[in-house]
Amino acid sequence: MQVVNTVVELRHAIKAWRIKGETVAFVPTMGNLHDGHLQLVREAKKLADRIVVSIFVNPTQFGVGEDFESYPRTEQDDQKKLAIEDTDLLFLPAVADIYTPDAKTTVTVSGLSDKYCGASRPGHFSGVATVVCKLFNCVQPDIALFGLKDFQQLAVIKTMARDLHIPVEILGVDTVREPSGLAMSSRNGYLTVKEKAVAAKLFYSLCVARDAILAGVQDYNAVEQQALLSLTQAGFVPDYFSVCRSSDLAKAAPDDRELVLLVAAKLGKTRLIDNIYFSR
């Protein structure tokens, strides 16, 4: 596996592949890799000749008081895991390689970015859209893969790429879960042993709500309130639990068929998100 730190090195390597007519798949990450990330790499290998993974802890998507400085950085272990998966190239830039000191341009996806997690984390999705746009411009992949655990993030990125005519196919890959049902996440490492046992109830709340809707319940507000109450009783501090239309994340109406349930809640000091999508 080739490891590069600069955009110049990255483009030089990709240019050599392009001359040979090879296709490129891209998996952007913030490192501290778990099996959810590696599943993205495995899926990418099925779809393209060459695989590029980036590890970049993006400062612009962290708000004031969030965990940028303490976010786990495990580059050596991550490199070993990616090498085992036969990754072709790891792009490992410094902040200065991505953001010039006098950078003035940001990308914001209006509407999608200011609700749910965007309401609780102002500026977060602008940071996400900006860095992903930059990385797409650096790598210029044929396909990019993202986990569906962050459903809102994927919606923001898809909309950004569509609106800016970025020629990349974006694929969402199903969430990888622990045996308890807890979605794999780098932030799970912040949970205590006791909290981790409780954290699985986040996914359980989604399953209960989904089953109620599939059984015919159409009062989505009641479904949301019951889920919030259950989470509170379990020890969470809920941020939101929302029944949404999966196409645009608008509040679902009784006649909508393609739905996604979005949830975010704090457990101790750790903020967790999850979702479940289905047809009714």
The answer to whether 37 is a known catalytic residue is yes
How many angstroms separate the CA atoms of 168 and 121, rounded? 27
User: What does each C-alpha distance from 203 to 1, 72, 272 come to in angstroms?
Assistant: 36, 24, 10
Count of alpha carbons within 13 angstroms of residue 194, beta-carbon side: 4
* CB within 8 Å of 165: residues ≥ 6 apart: none
Give dist(CA 47, CA 15) in Å, integer.
Answer: 19
Is 124 exposed, middle or buried, given 0-12, 13-18 or 19+ CB atoms closer than 10 A? buried
177: β partners: 183
For residue 230, what are the CA distances in angstroms to 85, 95, 209, 224?
Answer: 40, 41, 11, 10
**Distance in angstroms (rounded) separating the CA atoms of residues 137 and 3:** 19
Q: Rounded to the nearest 5°, which phi and psi values hold at 95?
A: -55, -40
Dihedrals phi, psi of 109, to nearest 5 degrees: -100, 105
The residue annotated as part of the active site, out of 12, 34, 37, 165, is 37
Number of C-alpha atoms within 13 angstroms, CB side, residue 24? 25
Cα–Cα distance, 38 to 59 (Å, whole number):
23
**Closest among 25, 26, 32 to 56, alpha carbons compared:** 32
Token readout for 268 is 């101790």
Active site residues: 37
